[in-house]
Amino acid sequence: MFLALFCNAQSGKPIKQEGAFSTALSAIIIDFKNNFSNIQSNELAGASSTNTYTSSICLPDAVHCTVERYNSEEDKSASWQALLFEGENYEDAVKAYKNVFKQVRTSTISGIDDKPVGFIGGLEKPDENIRFTVSTLRLSAINKKYKDFIASIELNNNMLGWEVTISLYRKKPDTEGSMIQ
């Protein structure tokens, strides 16, 4: 496994090491059943509505990996995030975005169900004229603890350039009433 406070990443380089990626991703996802508490490390400064911690398990070549906990009486959930690319070149960012998507999509996760599971979903095609693109993959697990568990891969343009991130969390079902009249 990969243990890191902040991982040795080189900004602007696409992620490689597919076997290592899948191994680290599996370990992170397995700890979701513990609300990511076993991989939570040192607390970082954060917003008052959340506590952010470094993750003791990081994906290969990630710039940094964190666990975020919500400070709410109603919501004690946590999510896991990693910054996997940062750079100014759009083509390099798209390459990294597609590579991360492919690695998540082809990863096999064991230890959740009787058989290994994977992610399902399609790649959202990026457009340089749009500042962000998000591809959402759903884990195909039967285990109820992993119901609605997703991997969200994002390509974002901010003031400093392009970023590729991944977030792992349980997407809560929409329970609010609709605006349909």
Q: Please indicate, yes or no, if residue 45 is contained in any of the structural domains.
A: yes
Identify residue 181 by its one-letter amino acid code.
Answer: Q
Q: Nearest-5° angle of CA 83, CA 85, CA 87?
A: 130
User: Tens digits of per-residue pLDDT, 76-125?
Assistant: 789 999 999 999 999 999 999 999 999 999 999 999 999 999 999 999 99
Distance from C-alpha of 31 to C-alpha of 48, rounded to nearest angstrom: 25
Number of domains forming the structure of the chain: 1
Q: Please indicate, yes or no, if residue 31 is contained in any of the structural domains.
A: yes
Question: Domain range holding 50?
Answer: 18-170
Q: Please indicate, yes or no, if residue 63 is contained in any of the structural domains.
A: yes
For the chain, give the percent of residues with pLDDT over 70. 84
Q: Please indicate, yes or no, if residue 49 is contained in any of the structural domains.
A: yes
Write down the pLDDT at residue 74.
76
Q: At what angle do helices 90-106 and 18-30 cross, to 10 degrees?
A: 60
Q: 113 with 141: CB under 8 angstroms?
A: yes
> Which residues of the chain are under the pLDDT cut of 70?
1-18, 46-47, 173-181
Q: Please indicate, yes or no, if residue 8 is contained in any of the structural domains.
A: no
Q: Please indicate, yes or no, if residue 7 is contained in any of the structural domains.
A: no
pTM of the model: 0.84
Q: Please indicate, yes or no, if residue 132 is contained in any of the structural domains.
A: yes
Write down the pLDDT at residue 153.
98
Write down the pLDDT at residue 46.
65
Q: Please indicate, yes or no, if residue 100 is contained in any of the structural domains.
A: yes
CA nearest 77: which of 174, 177, 172? 172
Residue 30 has which token pair?
A: 């397995």
